[in-house]
Amino acid sequence: MGMPLIDHHCHGVTTGELDREAFELLATESDWPAPAGTSVFDSPFGITVRAECAPLLDLSRHASAPDYLARRAELGAQEVTSRLLKHTGISTYLVETGYRADEILGPDQLAAAAGARSEAVVRLESVGEQVAATGVTAGLYGDEVAAEVTRQLETAVGAKSIAAYRVGLDLDPARPTHVEVARAASEWLRPQARRLDHPVLIRHLLWTAIDAGKPIQLHTGHGDSDAVLHRSNPSLLTGFLQATRETGVPILLLHCYPYLREAGCLAQIYPHVYVDNGLGVNYTGPGATAVIRESMEMTPFSKLLFSSDAFGLPELYACGALLWRRGTAAVLNEWVAADAISSSDALRYAELIAHGNAERVYGL
Amino acid sequence: MGMPLIDHHCHGVTTGELDREAFELLATESDWPAPAGTSVFDSPFGITVRAECAPLLDLSRHASAPDYLARRAELGAQEVTSRLLKHTGISTYLVETGYRADEILGPDQLAAAAGARSEAVVRLESVGEQVAATGVTAGLYGDEVAAEVTRQLETAVGAKSIAAYRVGLDLDPARPTHVEVARAASEWLRPQARRLDHPVLIRHLLWTAIDAGKPIQLHTGHGDSDAVLHRSNPSLLTGFLQATRETGVPILLLHCYPYLREAGCLAQIYPHVYVDNGLGVNYTGPGATAVIRESMEMTPFSKLLFSSDAFGLPELYACGALLWRRGTAAVLNEWVAADAISSSDALRYAELIAHGNAERVYGL
Amino acid sequence: MGMPLIDHHCHGVTTGELDREAFELLATESDWPAPAGTSVFDSPFGITVRAECAPLLDLSRHASAPDYLARRAELGAQEVTSRLLKHTGISTYLVETGYRADEILGPDQLAAAAGARSEAVVRLESVGEQVAATGVTAGLYGDEVAAEVTRQLETAVGAKSIAAYRVGLDLDPARPTHVEVARAASEWLRPQARRLDHPVLIRHLLWTAIDAGKPIQLHTGHGDSDAVLHRSNPSLLTGFLQATRETGVPILLLHCYPYLREAGCLAQIYPHVYVDNGLGVNYTGPGATAVIRESMEMTPFSKLLFSSDAFGLPELYACGALLWRRGTAAVLNEWVAADAISSSDALRYAELIAHGNAERVYGL
């Protein structure tokens, strides 16, 4: 399992030095500190950082939180980032650029730090917000957004939507009309547009991306406190998947935790649907193999992709890649040992999930 | 685990020779070909066919897709069907007769091909559509359907409903009145009835079957693109289960994937509710033991049944039976090894799940 | 794993002798006898009783149901209760007092029978019903309930709500106004209040408990036939968790089966949210380790608690404690063997889950 990985969905690494509070906030989906007397270092991801990243910083496995943070500060963020990223074996990073972009390394900087290649993924909701910030009128909003999405996608490999966060995946799957978009834009732009959470405009973004024809990543499942878990169940997208099937545009269901099985069912049925098991793998630490196992339960082997969903901490890249390699190998080796699959097929599927499927879907 | 099996829910085997495209379409719940460059043979079920069925056709384990299909064509469909069915150890097939009946072997033909016994299960929605096709008036529709359901159930062992596909399981559990049925029939029959998807008429069919008193199978969980997964969650049936508890009519929750645990909770609570783990077992291939394990997590051992849900491919029977035997044995043997259960109890429960529960519930 | 346990959610033990029918009804969440020819002793919990409790009553492992019940009757309920409770290693019982209190041992009696400590947990809905029974007017109902909740919580360690049973967890999270409470009370109290199931009054109870500031336990997931499973999904509480986060009042999600993962996601995000894996552990018997494993998948180790949720049968305490010890040890030992965690951390987390978290949250 030493093959190169394509991390088909991730964010940049934070640029600054991190104190304990800042580190802990980046090591969880929570937006608030752990309650008094407790620590994120005492969580499945926390113990994985202390077990797996500590040795890469010259500490012994299972270092304590204070020792880990002290050594991290001593080495400095740049050296830590470089060591951890180079250890991942990730050859290509597909970096979503639309979230807190000022705090993190962009795709080029990340590639330089990792000695790897990178490509950009456009966050659709950010494009809507960027266009709104130009002072566009409601009547022109729809066309301007479509033009800007198309323009940004020219140099990007795909689009990403956080519809799950903004309106829930139980959205109306229909393409909105021009009149509906103009009316919705007039509601949202007045008096001042901020966070794009208008259901019609979210749908407009999705269909604009469908028209642009590049792969679309959709957040599903567990995320931060801005999302409601059961409204992020990928099965809620069924209507949208039915409506877009004939377009052939690949839809990549991100994360999916704890709905890996639901996602696998969708990937079996809909030819344009793909499944990713990132995020859940990191946050379950030693339990990640069970998550990976579920993602391999029904999903066709040509439909599963690796990602880290890392944001901010290089530890999320390092642990995400390591846990994925270990878990995927564990499942496939078990199947080989039971003679349920040949070694050559197992290797072939590992290569597909590690990078082959991403190469095919994104045309890398 | 060599005991005879009762396959309490399956469909017939396709009668014709199959080219690669036709075979691949029958080896998945999808209604469309796999995307370019991919194949159903590279899926959990696909590798199971190549591992387990290939030797039954004189090939080595893990045969390639072209080799498998070439050998299949060489032997001919009849010989392949005969070899694969005889290997299942299924002694009795309960065959649902209402779906694409013209393309597949009926219960008698299937029994002959397998050297086994068969009984019929009536698809309720098909009866509604058959009655509609007679040109019945809306006012008479309800009584005619009731009479026809009763008549067909005289020679069948149970009924089956695909309410999950047609209206979702979040249906109103109440028995509709005569007036409601007549009004609904007038809506549905005009100008021309086709697919029965009127919620009142689906409820009418269910209650008609309750009156008839034979066991009722209900599709739940993963199915083809005609169903919406989260609307097929068996927990949505709770109101109907409460409303029918006193009738004593057995309700068999089919498939249940990925809602095996939800189904197990219902089977623990409601005395007339039973759980089946078919379909999920086939499509998860080497992961089937995890599915079986969940179905045995809370379900009383007197409430769990084997099925293949096979349609079209004899491979679905062969793999379904094999994976069930292997997975059920794995779970029970693990429990015996941990001294959590006696060997004699383990054997007794295996016999119940393999055939005893079906014999008791269907009165075979 | 011989450390003392705090059972942070349980009920009393039944006071009378039990015949087979009475025993079977207490050994399941069902409200009805098992169908003819079947027995609760042939369920995952039933085999666990016969395997694990039989030797404590001087029988061999895997005793038959008749032998077990005969020996139980021979020893008498008091001796059986004493033997089984003393074997649990539970040092403190937090006993919910509001359900069928006349049939079971109260906290003091339970403590005496077990040779342990006990504390009371107040069932909020019972307080509402108690206040209603005093003949209070609708206008005074809200204040009287608030006063009574406050009064009862003075000598209790926490509150418990069965909102899931009464209205479902998809409740409006907002605190109701005085006027809304008075109007709802006038609806519910007339002509005669019984079971408190008015959504506004349930919300009022929850917010009254928030004001009182002690930890609040909420039933989630599988329960008896009075609840609807999918409406007990803890994710449905997200709005209430967001609305109460700043109060700092701990919210303990009880049971959670089969939504352990959803609960773990909530516990990762919301600093005041805790997860318990009781009930599911008992009813899954030999499969309990999988349930425990899922509860440890994402939940921070400072957020997970042990409980038995035992009601009536001392067997539920004995098996709940034993299965928890065995399953938690299995998961942690596996992680230690894989060097994913240090032995000292594993021990530290086991102590937290066994009793440390409960001590901190309830201030014991």
* Closest chain C residue to the Cα of B344, Cα to Cα: C62
- Chain A adjacent subunits, 3+ CB pairs under 8 A: B, C
**Considering CB atoms only, which of B238, B300, B301 is closest to C229?**
B238
Counting every residue written for chain C, the total comes to 364
Q: Does residue B335 sit at the C interface (CB-CB below 8 Å)?
A: yes
Min Cα–Cα distance to chain A from B325, Å:
15
- Among residues 240-269 of chain B, which lie with CB inside 8 Å of chain C? 242, 245, 261-262, 265-266, 268-269
Contacts of C34 in chain B (CB under 8 A): 271, 300, 302
Q: Which residues of C touch B271 (CB under 8 A)?
A: 30, 32-35
Taking each continuous run of H as one helix and of E as one strand, the counts in chain C are: 17, 8
Q: Please name the member of B233, B271, B293 whose beta carbon is closest to the beta carbon of C34.
A: B271
| Spans in chain B with pLDDT lower than 70 | none
Backbone φ and ψ for B359, nearest 5 degrees, come out as -60, -45
Flag residues of chain C having pLDDT under 50: none
Q: What is the 3-state secondary structure (H, E, C) of chain B?
A: CCCCEEEEEECCEECCCCCHHHHHHHCCCCCCCCCCCCCHHHCHHHHHHHHHHHHHHCCCCCCCHHHHHHHHHHHCHHHHHHHHHHHHCEEEEEEECCCCHHHECCHHHHHHHHCCEEEEEEEHHHHHHHHHHCCCCHHHHHHHHHHHHHHHHHCCCEEEECHHHHCCCCCCCCCCCHHHHHHHHHHHHCCCCCCCCCHHHHHHHHHHHHHHCCCEEEEECCCCCCCCHHHHCHHHHHHHHHHHHHHCCCEEEEECCCCHHHHHHHHHHCCCEEEECCCHHHHHHHHHHHHHHHHCCCCCCCCEECCCCCCECHHHHHHHHHHHHHHHHHHHHHHHHCCCCCHHHHHHHHHHHHHHHHHHHHCC
pLDDT of C73:
97
pTM above 0.90, yes or no: yes
Name the residue in chain A with its Cα closest to that of C298: A284
| pLDDT (mean) for A11-26 | 93
* Cβ pair C208, C145 in contact under 8 A: yes
Closest partner residue to B229 (CB to CB) among A238, A300, A303 is A238
Q: Do A341 and B37 touch (CB under 8 A)?
A: no
Estimate to the nearest angstrom the gap between the alpha carbon of A228 and the chain centroid: 17
* ipTM at complex level: 0.97
Taking only the tens place, the pLDDT of each residue in A207-261 is: 999 999 999 999 999 999 999 999 999 999 999 999 999 999 999 999 999 999 9
**For residue C268, which residues of chain A lie inside 8 Å, CB to CB?**
28-30, 43, 222, 283
> Residue B342's closest chain C neighbor by CA?
C62
pLDDT of residue B129: 96
Taking only the tens place, the pLDDT of each residue in B40-68 is 999 999 999 999 999 999 999 999 999 99
User: Mean pLDDT over all residues of chain A?
Assistant: 96
Strand partners, A273: A251
- The Cα–Cα gap between A267 and A304 comes to 9
Q: Which residue of A has its CA nearest to B36?
A: A271
Cβ of B225 within 8 Å of Cβ of A242? The answer is: yes
C60 CB within 8 Å of a chain B CB: no
- Report CB contact under 8 Å: C271, A35: yes
pLDDT of residue B2: 83
C51–B contact, CB cutoff 8 A: yes
Which among C25, C45, C47, C293 is the top mutation candidate for probing chain B, defined by the most B β-carbons within 10 Å of its own β-carbon?
A: C47
A21 lies within 8 A of chain C by CB = no
Q: Which region among A96-105, A319-328, C295-304 has the lowest average model confidence (pLDDT)?
A: A96-105
What residues in C contact A38, CB-CB < 8 Å? 300, 302-303
Contact residues on chain C for B266, CB-CB shorter than 8 A: 229
pLDDT of residue A314: 97
Which residues of A fall within a CB distance of 8 Å from C346? none
Write down the pLDDT at residue A190: 84
Cβ–Cβ gap C291/B297 under 8 Å: yes
Residues of B in contact with C59 (CB under 8 A): none
Instruction: Note whether A33 contacts C: Cβ–Cβ < 8 A.
Output: yes
Contact (CB<8Å) B262/C30: no
Interface check B78 vs C, CB under 8 A = no
Question: Given a contact as 3+ CB pairs under 8 Å, which chains touch C?
Answer: A, B
Facing residue for A340 by CB, picked from B51, B258, B291: B51
Task: Mutation target for C interface from A21, A25, A38: give the one with most C CBs within 10 A.
Answer: A38
What whole-number percentage of chain A has pLDDT above 70? 100
